[in-house]
Amino acid sequence: MKGCTQSSSVVTTARTSFIWCLLAIFSGLTFQGYLKPSNSAFSFPWSRPRPDNTVQCAIANYTARIIMHDPFMMHIENFISADERAYLLSLREEFLHPSKIRLENGTAALDSARNSSSTFLPWFDPVAQCIMHRAAELQGFVRIGAIENLQITAYEQGQKYSPHFDWFEEWTLPKGRSNRASTFFAILEADCTDCGTRFPRLQVDWSARDARWCNFVDCNSTQGLTIEAVPGAALFWRNIDSGGLGNKKTLHEGLPVNQGSKIGLNIWTHGS
Q: Which of residues 123 and 109 earns the better pLDDT score?
A: 123
Q: How far is C-alpha 35 from the geometric centre of its chain's CA atoms?
A: 20
**Predicted pLDDT of residue 136:** 95
Q: How far is C-alpha 237 from the geometric centre of its chain's CA atoms?
A: 11
DSSP letter at 114? B
**Predicted pLDDT of residue 67:** 98
**Predicted pLDDT of residue 99:** 58
Let me know if 40 is exposed, middle or buried by CB neighbors in 10 A (0-12, 13-18, 19+). exposed
Condensed to tens digits (0 to 9), the pLDDT of residues 209-230 reads 999 999 999 999 999 999 999 9
Dihedral over Cα of 202, 68, 233, 89: its sign: negative
Q: What angle is formed at CA 128 by the lines to CA 89 and CA 156, rounded to 5 degrees?
A: 30
Condensed to tens digits (0 to 9), the pLDDT of residues 8-29 reads 333 333 343 444 443 433 333 3
Q: Which of residues 4 and 159 earns the better pLDDT score?
A: 159
Buried b (16+ CB within 10 A) or exposed e, 45-82: ebbbeeeeeebebeebebeeeebeeebebbbbebbbbe
CATH class of 8-271: mainly beta
- Statement: residue 178 has pLDDT above 90: yes
Buried b (16+ CB within 10 A) or exposed e, 235-252: bbbbbbbeeeebbebbbb
**Predicted pLDDT of residue 40:** 27
- Of the listed ranges 17-21, 33-37, 158-162, 199-203, the one predicted with least confidence: 33-37
- Statement: residue 176 has pLDDT above 70: yes
The domain limits of the chain are: 8-271
Average pLDDT over residues 236-240: 98
- Of the listed ranges 21-35, 82-96, 100-114, 200-214, the one predicted with least confidence: 21-35
**Predicted pLDDT of residue 21:** 42
**Predicted pLDDT of residue 57:** 75
Read off the pLDDT band of 134 (50, 70, 90). Answer: very high
**Predicted pLDDT of residue 114:** 58
Read off the pLDDT band of 33 (50, 70, 90). Answer: very low
Mean pLDDT of the chain: 79
DSSP letter at 9? H
Average pLDDT over residues 72-77: 98
**Predicted pLDDT of residue 249:** 98
Q: Which of residues 136 and 96 earns the better pLDDT score?
A: 136
**Predicted pLDDT of residue 123:** 87
The closest alpha carbon to 3, from 216, 166, 196, 234, belongs to: 234
Read off the pLDDT band of 105 (50, 70, 90). Answer: low
**Predicted pLDDT of residue 24:** 39
In the chain the first and final C-alpha atoms are separated, in Å, by 23
Phi-psi region of 271 (alpha: psi -120 to 50; beta: other; left: phi over 0): left
The closest alpha carbon to 144, from 234, 5, 30, 36, belongs to: 30
Average pLDDT over residues 77-90: 94
Condensed to tens digits (0 to 9), the pLDDT of residues 187-209 reads 999 999 999 999 999 999 999 99
